[in-house]
Structure 1
Amino acid sequence: MKKLLSLLVVCCILITGCQKSEESSSFDKYMEEGKTAVASEQYEKALKFFSLAKEEKSDDIEANALYNQSNNLVEAIKSKNDKKYDVAIQLCDVIEKMSSESSVIKEAAKSLKDECDTLSKKETASEQTNNNVSNNSANNHTSTDNSTPKYYYLNRLNNIKSNYANAYDNLVSTSEIREMASREYSDWDNLLNQIWGTLKEQLPSSVMRNLTTEQKSWIKQKEARAKELSSQPGTMSLIESTSYLSETTKERCYYLVNNYME
């Protein structure tokens, strides 16, 4: 009887040891496959492997770090493809600040950040050129009186734009980014309402009626697109939605001031 019990104990130890060995083997395999996928720029594939590694060892610090980094990188690439360069850059900053033994994803994030920064600067330069053309066209028949409502609102618009130019640089968590994005949208939206109130006082009733119809259509399209973005999977969907609202509201403000305000 004692011999039988001893044999059972030994078998249990061997079985447990084999199970742990198999778990460790699978974990190491998934981690290596994930890193290989990153090196091949197959980031969604890498995310799946790091997810499997987490399932094998849910408390492993490195597996969790690489999973979070790859998840943010996938979201950043989607943002870049949607031309949401500011959001992509913010996500890359978050990745670079995450602690991990491997730098493979951080290097990919740095490369993506540099690319998005270049694209963002090109887009900004293009917008500035278009704004200058629009300003010149709208101002051909007006004076440069600094006391005009148009000058006043352009100055306020440029101030808000300047205030948020570097506001996201030192943010780390998605909650901080989300809060800042919400604050920025609120500032643009509040100013849009003020611009609209001034236009109602300035414009002839016939022009205002047509502009009101156009404004309602713009609001409907804006809200539909924001809802579409917020319903997408991923931790950054709400940030992308709010960033879209900020950007489109900012553009609408400049459009109304440059084309309708005196």
Structure 2
Amino acid sequence: MKYSIILILMILFLAACGDNTYDKAMKQGYAALQKEEFDKATASFQIALDEKPEDEEASKAYEQLTLFKEVSKANDEKDWDTAVKKTDQLLKKKDLLPPLKQEVEKYKKTAIDSKEQQSTLYNQLEEIKALINKQDYEEAEKRLEGLKDEKSFENEQQKVNELSASVKAGLQNKTKEETVQPEEKKTESTSKKDEYLQKLAKVESSFGDLDPLYESGTTYDFKEAEGEVYKRWDALLNDIYGELKKQLPASEMNKLRNEQRQWIKDRDKQADEVLKSYEGGSFGGVHYLSTLGQMTRERCYQLVNNYMK
């Protein structure tokens, strides 16, 4: 809107100036550049091009300013890959307009620094996830606490919230286990609930074999690891649900069946939203599988603790 208003006003002004419109537009374009009034400069050079469509000088200035506007937009949207790519395109131009060069270099530095921050934060989150898989909840909690000072923390808020929930649940389960009386520990229980609590613990401790994948640092291996985590929790969820079919009365099972169907819809919807938030980025598939795995894990605990006997 701002750009359109500037263009209309300048057209009206220059239209009254007769045959000298091109010269006046070019002069005003360069003057606006010196003042870093880039929208005004773009409008001026566009008017000059309207007067002389084949003019090389006006075309060069207009092309560079248009690309500069795309750089600014990419930075505003935190699309760092696009910002770096387009700043490189501008900086490679031997005839880059001097007033633009300094601004483009600033944008590039911001994009590179922000991209590195994003990558570092992602690696930190993956390390925390590995700690959770090893049931080292105290260290995971400590690492999460340290992330609160990160400037890019808010960009991964959902992921951090998921990890925080896992840590909280793990610490609570650990506390319950530690408060069990010695004689109760020695008593061998034959209840299905105890049996499935042991199955939960077994799955929790089964992810050590995935460490090489997490440590490799490649998106492909991260995705393979998250897929395996989800696969193990989903298999246990189906096992738990099958056992509940045997235990629960028909009325309770019907209620649980409806609840489970809704939970599956909600889980898949949340995972899809996570995937869409990455807009085709390479980490989108990793976070999609991570969301499925984490929500399925939490559902396993809910069913065992709330329904199993």
> What range is the shorter-chain TM-score in?
0.5 to 0.7
Corresponding position of 1:88: 83
Corresponding position of 1:251: 287
Corresponding position of 2:269: 216
What is the rounded CA distance, in whole Å, between the counterparts of 1:100 and 1:62 in structure 2?
10
Q: Are the structure 2 counterparts of residues 197 and 255 from structure 1 closer, same or farther at C-alpha, using a change threshold of 3 Å?
A: closer
Q: Which runs of 5+ in 1 are unaligned?
A: 1-17, 163-187, 226-242
Following superposition, the deviation at residue 125 of structure 1 comes to: 1.9
What are the Cα deviations for residues 228-261 of structure 1, in whole angstroms up to 9, with x where unaligned? Answer: xxxxxxxxxxxxxxx6222544432455567869
Kept in 2, the 8 Å contact 1:34–1:46? The answer is yes
Q: Are the structure 2 counterparts of residues 109 and 130 from structure 1 closer, same or farther at C-alpha, using a change threshold of 3 Å?
A: same
Aligned partner of 2:64 among 55, 61, 69: 69
What is the rounded CA distance, in whole Å, between the counterparts of 2:52 and 2:228 in structure 1?
56
Kept in 1, the 8 Å contact 2:28–2:44? The answer is yes
Q: Which runs of 5+ in 2 are unaligned?
A: 1-16, 136-203, 242-259, 298-309
2:205 matches 1:142: yes
Q: Among all aligned residue pairs of Structure 1 and Structure 2, give the percentage whose two residues are the same amino acid.
A: 14
Kept in 1, the 8 Å contact 2:271–2:291? The answer is no
Question: What is the aligned length?
Answer: 192
Following superposition, the deviation at residue 114 of structure 1 comes to: 0.8
Corresponding position of 1:26: 24
Corresponding position of 2:245: none
Q: Are the structure 2 counterparts of residues 196 and 248 from structure 1 closer, same or farther at C-alpha, using a change threshold of 3 Å?
A: same
What is the rounded CA distance, in whole Å, between the counterparts of 1:102 and 1:124 in structure 2?
33
What is the rounded CA distance, in whole Å, between the counterparts of 2:90 and 2:221 in structure 1?
26
Kept in 1, the 8 Å contact 2:91–2:104? The answer is yes
Following superposition, the deviation at residue 92 of structure 1 comes to: 0.7
The root-mean-square deviation of aligned C-alpha atoms, in Å, is 4.0
What is the rounded CA distance, in whole Å, between the counterparts of 1:250 and 1:43 in structure 2?
40
What is the rounded CA distance, in whole Å, between the counterparts of 2:284 and 2:295 in structure 1?
16
Kept in 2, the 8 Å contact 1:76–1:91? The answer is yes
What is the rounded CA distance, in whole Å, between the counterparts of 1:104 and 1:33 in structure 2?
10
What is the rounded CA distance, in whole Å, between the counterparts of 2:53 and 2:91 in structure 1?
22
Kept in 1, the 8 Å contact 2:42–2:65? The answer is yes
Following superposition, the deviation at residue 151 of structure 1 comes to: 4.9
Q: Name the aligned partner's letter for residue 244 of structure 1.
A: E
1:120-159 counterparts in 2 under 5 A?
120-140=115-135, 141-142=204-205, 145-146=208-209, 150-151=210-211, 154=214, 158-159=218-219
Q: Are the structure 2 counterparts of residues 78 and 54 from structure 1 closer, same or farther at C-alpha, using a change threshold of 3 Å?
A: same
2:265 matches 1:202: no
Q: Are the structure 2 counterparts of residues 43 and 256 from structure 1 closer, same or farther at C-alpha, using a change threshold of 3 Å?
A: farther
Q: Are the structure 2 counterparts of residues 62 and 252 from structure 1 closer, same or farther at C-alpha, using a change threshold of 3 Å?
A: farther
Highest RCO, 1 vs 2 (Cα 8 Å, sep ≥ 6)? 1
> Which protein has the larger Cα radius of gyration, Structure 1 or Structure 2?
2
What are the Cα deviations for residues 37-75 of structure 1, in whole angstroms up to 9, with x where unaligned? Answer: 4xx3x3333322222222222212232222222222222
Following superposition, the deviation at residue 32 of structure 1 comes to: 1.4
Corresponding position of 2:38: 43
What is the rounded CA distance, in whole Å, between the counterparts of 1:161 and 1:131 in structure 2?
12
Kept in 1, the 8 Å contact 2:29–2:45? The answer is yes
2:101 matches 1:106: yes
Q: Name the aligned partner's letter for residue 142 of structure 1.
A: S
Following superposition, the deviation at residue 154 of structure 1 comes to: 4.3
Following superposition, the deviation at residue 113 of structure 1 comes to: 0.1
